[in-house]
Structures are given as structure tokens and as C-alpha cells.
Amino acid sequence: MTEKKYDAIIIGTGIIGNCIAYEMAQKGYKTLSIDKLGGSGCGSTAGSCAIIRLYYSSPEGVALAREGYYYWLDWPRYLQEEDPSGMAFYRNTGAMVFKTDLNKNLVPVMKSLDALGVGYLELTPEQMKDYLPNPDLRSFHPQKRMDDPEFGTPTGPSVNGAVYVPESGYVSDPKQSTHNVEVAARSVGADFLFNAEVTAILKKEGRAAGVALADGRTFEAPVVVNVAGPHSYIINRMAGIEDKMNIKTRALRVEVAHVPSPEGIDWEGTAVITSDSDAGVYTRPESGNHVLIGSEEPKCDPLEYVDPDDYNRNFTDQLKTQAMRVAMRVPDLPIPNKNQGLVDLYDVSDDWYPIYDRSDLPGFYLAIGTSGNQYKNAPVVGAFMTELIQYCEAGNDHDKDPLQYRMKYLDHTLDIGFFSRNREINQDSSFSVIG
């Protein structure tokens, strides 16, 4: 049974999918966003650390994050619609990024920050003590697992220093921010359908033509956008395009720990975001005066690729390992007996950079492989994906002549071909959540 016809169907109602729906609806497209879950942001977006930071291993990554930063500063004005259930907000904390040989002591990052006029401070190890309570700044690299007898044993007298970027922080509630965008998208004509599982990509005359659902309904549209997060590779297989892509995606299981702040420290109110590649972890202040701790995927930690519909949702030793790595750096950090945190999924590409692109099936577009680090860029992605769709549907060949996106806030043009599905693996990547 064919339901209402649309101009575009968007598969996935996470933060990026909803920003694409909002931007397309503003340009006059009649869109339908479909999700197998019960509401916007209920998938991996809900588990996002929602960190807004500007340090990436490529100039393109830095430019995209810098542009996205301004959208979050201007969130209510960007959406132009008040969410009756409340508005998410951005909280600035600053971010301290450790220099290591792994990240080339941040020389490429600083070069990219300089090119975009982003201010920062270079910190000596002594100056880093102003940003962490009673820290141990010896080196612990290379990282080890807890069952290694050398775990926690310093390997060098000092870390190499750090770069502090004051324009960094996090969004208060990633799920609520996604609902904010849904409200804004509905206000300009977008439709949403939840608890609806896509089982097939419809095709007609050699191009995408809509979707079929598990309940037998079909929806027709000449444009279909895959923003399905950890399920993105499954949708690509339905479309028959996965084997034609040089860069592919998989679902990666990850754990994030929540631990109490050291006694007497207002971590929630005064702490900065840290990216500690020497210890292999990142941190963010969390409500309740907690420390949120994620992994930077050091080589000693196995990567667990899973079926996004069937994976272990219980905590493992990985959670405590991450907490203990921060405790090596901040010895006063308490490690509770009871595990607290979350288990969720990243949609990881082969080089941990996203795929924002057309596909080999005309009318079928990709905003996938976001690898745990693209939440911050969602509003910009919504804008340039809309332009990309317009560009390709007008007959332009994005593969041969990539879209050049002129940014809204920055005096900068971004080559969207950088995010091609057919690129070679980016060897400058961190091959981690850092991007």
C-alpha cells in the first residue's frame, strides 16, 4: 500500500538526520523522516557526549567544527522555533588537548587553528597543573590493559605539554537538542514517522524511488537520504551500493564511564574538557559533579564491531579501565565499586572520517560514518547536504566536480569532496573518536 508521496525521505532521526530534514524543509522540500525507534534522538545521539570542540587532525575537520560552533552559540535563533518541552543549550568549558608523538605534538592542529583564527594557548607541563587538580603529569604511553602487570607504571618523566582551546564545551542534552530540531522542522512542513522499520529501498528507472516498511507500507520519493547511524551499512546493502564504496561503515560498541569528582573539587562547575592521548582517554564535566570518561581507542584496546540489533549492553572491564586511566592522571579521582555510565554504538568509517556524499544509486544520498565525533557538526551538515542534493539533482557530477560549500559564518569554502565515499583512507586520521 503506497502512502503519501514526498520530495525526500530521510532514514534516521538523530541530530544529523533532523538537521537535514530542517534544512531541506526550509528550502521547500516536503520531507518524511523515518526511524525504527520511538522518537527523535533515541538512538546513538542520546548516548553522545555532545562535546563541541575544534581540534581535528585535518584542516577540513577543524573548519567544519569551527563553523558548527557558531550554530550552537546561536541555537534558538538558528531554529526560529521554541520547543515547548525545553531548549538544549551550549555550555563553554574550554578544552585541554595533550601533546603526544601520536598527534605530532598538535603541530597540524595548531596550523589549522591558526588558519581559521581560532585562539589557543600552548601550555608547558607546569602550566597544565592550573587545569587539573593535583595531576600526575608523567607519561603513561603506550597504554596498557588492566591485566598487564605494567598497567599504571609511568614510562617517562613528563608529558609533552598541551594546547588549551577556550572556545570548547558541550551541549546540555543531546537528545533534547534533537527534539528541538524536530520541532523546528515540523514548523516548516517536515513530517516524522516513528516506530517504523525500513526493510527495502525502492527503485524505479535506475534510481531511488522511496522505501518499504516492515508493516507493508511504502512511501515514494525521488530522494532518499541514509542517516541511519550504526544501521547505515544495513541500509546501504538494501540499496545495493555498499560494494561500490571505497570507504565503508560498521557499528562499533563503546562504553563511557561516569565517576564522581575528587573530593572538594567542583568538576562540574570548573573543569575543562580534556583529550589525553598519552593516557588514551578523554573527559568532560557531567551533571551531579561527575566526570564523564570516554576512550580514545588506544592500540591495546580491541575494537568490538557488532550487529547494531544484537550486542552486549552490559558493562565490561573496559569501563573500569577507562576510569583507571584517568585516575593515573588525577590520583584523587575516586573509583566507585558500582559501575556507572553507558554502553552505545558509533557508526565508524574505515578512517573515522564521515561520508557526506551522493551514491552510485541516483537519488540516494549518504550522511554516515560519523564515528562518534560529528554531533557538533550536525547543523552545518544539514545545510551542505541540502545543497549537495540540490546540486546533484540539477545534473551536476559531484564525483568529478565536487560541491564547494560556502560557509554561513566563516569566510571559508569547504570542498565536500573531502568526505567522498570513494576517497582513499585518510592516513592523517587519528583512527579514533578524535577524528
Give the residue-averaged pLDDT of 220-241: 98
If asked whether residues 293 and 398 sit together in one domain, one would say: no
Give the residue-averaged pLDDT of 376-399: 98
* pLDDT exceeds cutoff 90 at 67: yes
Task: Tell me the C-alpha to C-alpha distance, in Å, between residue 34 and each of 192, 193, 196, 198, 379.
Answer: 6, 5, 6, 8, 19
The overall average pLDDT reported for the chain is 96
**What CATH number is attached to the domain comprising 255?**
3.30.9.10
* pLDDT exceeds cutoff 80 at 4: no
If asked whether residues 238 and 190 sit together in one domain, one would say: yes
CA angle 170, 177, 282 (to 5 degrees): 25
* pLDDT exceeds cutoff 90 at 432: no
If asked whether residues 215 and 279 sit together in one domain, one would say: no
Give the residue-averaged pLDDT of 385-404: 98
If asked whether residues 12 and 113 sit together in one domain, one would say: no
If asked whether residues 120 and 36 sit together in one domain, one would say: no
Q: What is the percentage of the chain residues whose pLDDT exceeds 70?
A: 99
Q: Is residue 266 part of a domain?
A: yes
* pLDDT exceeds cutoff 80 at 57: no
Contact 50, 410 (CB under 8 A): no
Neighbour tally for 74: CB within 10 Å: 14
If asked whether residues 132 and 79 sit together in one domain, one would say: no
Q: What is the DSSP string of 265-296?
A: --HHHHPPEEEETTTTEEEEEETTTEEEEEE-
Give the residue-averaged pLDDT of 210-223: 98
Question: From CA 43, how far away is CA 61, in angstroms rounded?
Answer: 24
If asked whether residues 124 and 268 sit together in one domain, one would say: yes
Which strands, in side-by-side order, build the sheet including 364-368? Answer: 191-193, 31-34, 8-11, 223-226, 364-368, 355-357
**Which pLDDT score, from 0 to 100, does residue 259 have?**
97
Q: Is residue 409 part of a domain?
A: yes
**Which pLDDT score, from 0 to 100, does residue 210 have?**
98
Residue 386, H or E segment: helix 378-393
* pLDDT tens profile 344-367: 999 999 999 999 999 999 999 999
If asked whether residues 100 and 35 sit together in one domain, one would say: no
Tally of structural domains, the chain: 2
Question: Residue with C-alpha cell 560514518?
Answer: 369
Where does the pLDDT of residue 2 fall: very low under 50, low under 70, confident under 90, or very high at 90 and above? low
Strands (E) across 223-371 are located at: 223-226, 249-260, 273-276, 281-286, 290-295, 304-305, 341-349, 355-357, 364-368
**Which pLDDT score, from 0 to 100, does residue 418 have?**
96
Q: Is residue 363 part of a domain?
A: yes
If asked whether residues 334 and 255 sit together in one domain, one would say: yes
If asked whether residues 19 and 59 sit together in one domain, one would say: yes
Give the residue-averaged pLDDT of 368-374: 93
Q: Is residue 224 part of a domain?
A: yes
Closest listed residue to residue 385, CA positions, set 12, 3, 5, 1? 12
* pLDDT tens profile 17-54: 999 999 999 999 999 999 999 999 999 999 999 999 99
DSSP 74: T
Q: What is the percentage of the chain residues whose pLDDT exceeds 90?
A: 93
Q: Is residue 427 part of a domain?
A: no
If asked whether residues 263 and 337 sit together in one domain, one would say: yes
> Which of 309, 330, 345 is a domain's end point?
345
Q: Is residue 431 part of a domain?
A: no
* pLDDT tens profile 257-299: 999 999 999 999 999 999 999 999 999 999 999 999 999 999 9
Q: Cα torsion at 123, 124, 130, 136 (round to 10°)?
A: 130
Q: Is residue 390 part of a domain?
A: yes
Its pTM stands at: 0.97
Contact 330, 261 (CB under 8 A): no
**Which pLDDT score, from 0 to 100, does residue 1 have?**
56
**Which pLDDT score, from 0 to 100, does residue 91 have?**
97
CA angle 297, 306, 179 (to 5 degrees): 85
**What CATH number is attached to the domain comprising 242?**
3.50.50.60
**Which pLDDT score, from 0 to 100, does residue 429 have?**
81
Asked if residue 379 has a cis previous peptide bond (ω within 30° of 0), the answer is no
Q: Is residue 34 part of a domain?
A: yes
**Which pLDDT score, from 0 to 100, does residue 26 have?**
98
**Which pLDDT score, from 0 to 100, does residue 58 have?**
83
If asked whether residues 187 and 106 sit together in one domain, one would say: no
Query: Which range of residues forms the domain containing residue 116?
Result: 95-166+251-345
Question: From CA 192, how far away is CA 420, in angstroms rounded?
Answer: 28
* pLDDT tens profile 80-96: 999 999 999 999 999 99
**Which pLDDT score, from 0 to 100, does residue 272 have?**
98
Neighbour tally for 383: CB within 10 Å: 22
Question: Residue with C-alpha cell 516536503?
Answer: 30
* pLDDT tens profile 200-213: 999 999 999 999 99
Question: From CA 294, how far away is CA 280, in angstroms rounded?
Answer: 9
* pLDDT tens profile 77-133: 999 999 999 999 999 999 999 999 999 999 999 999 999 999 999 999 999 999 999
